[in-house]
Chains A and B, each alone.
Chain A
Amino acid sequence: MIKGIKSFFGFISKMFKGKKHIKLGIYGPPNAGKSSIANMVVKDWLGEEMSTVSPIPHETREVVVKEKIHMKKKGKEITFNLVDTPGIATRIDYEDFLKFKMSAKDAKERAKEATKGVIESIKWLDDMDCVLVVLDSTQNPYNQVNITIIGNLAARDIPVLIVGNKIDLKKSDVKRIEAAFPQYPVIGISAEKRINVEAFYEEIFKLVR
């Protein structure tokens, strides 16, 4: 009987514990700027660093979580755990890393870790409460990885905000992203040059409720 009561309260406490901290995931293909956005958010609201960034694809090869990010703006407040995930790809070839003057041994190691990172990212999909899908706004948005990520989030009823990053670059085309995913809110930003950051935070307030 006592065991039953304990397990009931354990379940209730777990349920509320789970609800307390919303998980905001950052998903997208490699090199879209997921970690740059994660760093920007964490720096702006916690004054800390989160992930390392690099022009070499698959720099983030493990899921990184920053807990209790508290945002306060115009009387509104939200608290969430930010989850920066490795880029999802369908192909990983160590030879691609050799172009970045990496040794064969390091390239092979990076490729091996990158495959594990993709697996981890996919596994974490079920745990998210809402997601920022970060796309490189200079690239073709009709890439199957983007469609698969967004399709999976839709199938799980997870709210999505599409972030078209790198709008400071000449080839950037946020309208093309909007046309590709008309049923989702899309915001263009440049995490590196800090363009449209305030509007981005407004959208996060709408997403994390």
Chain B
Amino acid sequence: MLTLQFIPHHEISGLDMNGKIQKILKSVKEDKIILIEGRLHAQEESELIRRTMEVIDKKFKGIEICTVDYQPRNMLLSEKIKKTLANLLLNKNSGMTIIGPATVVKEIKKDPNKVELFTLEKRGKR
């Protein structure tokens, strides 16, 4: 059975990088696919990859991750600035991050128009 866990922005925004990564890895290691409201920063993403590598073992094979930005590609600069300011004022981070364990999520395919998540079929009991 697939478990999808939604993490709203307010639940993660107060945490430092270490806290965010610990929370993400804890859920992913419990075989949950998590959906985070907002995007992780680039440095948080690379730190998440680094920490993931440190905990890979016989059972945990890593993660699949995908960030989705709602910002239209042809948005005018003035509109981008407006949106960034609004996000700053409301302490919001637009977009969404999907992270799942590699033993459950085979691939997250992304192109400019859609995101597709493919899961693995279980090969017997673990």
Mark A residues whose CB is within 8 Å of B: 88-93, 111, 115-116, 118-119, 122-123, 125, 140, 142-145, 147-149, 151-152, 154-155, 179-180
Contact = CB atoms under 8 A, between A and B. Distances in A.
Dominant SS among interface residues on chain B: mixed
A154 B42 contact: yes
Given A90-B102, A91-B64, A148 B112 contact: no
Contacts of A123: 50
Contacts of B49: 88, 90, 118, 122, 145, 148
A80 B97 CA distance: 37
Contacts of A93: 61-62, 102
17 contacts: A90-B49, A90-B52, A92-B61, A93-B61, A93-B102, A115-B53, A119-B50, A122-B47, A140-B110, A142-B110, A142-B112, A143-B110, A145-B49, A148-B45, A151-B42, A152-B46, A155-B42
Given A118-B49, A119-B53, A155-B43, 11 more contacts: A90-B63, A90-B64, A91-B102, A92-B62, A115-B54, A119-B54, A122-B47, A125-B46, A144-B64, A144-B66, A148-B42
Contacts, number: 72
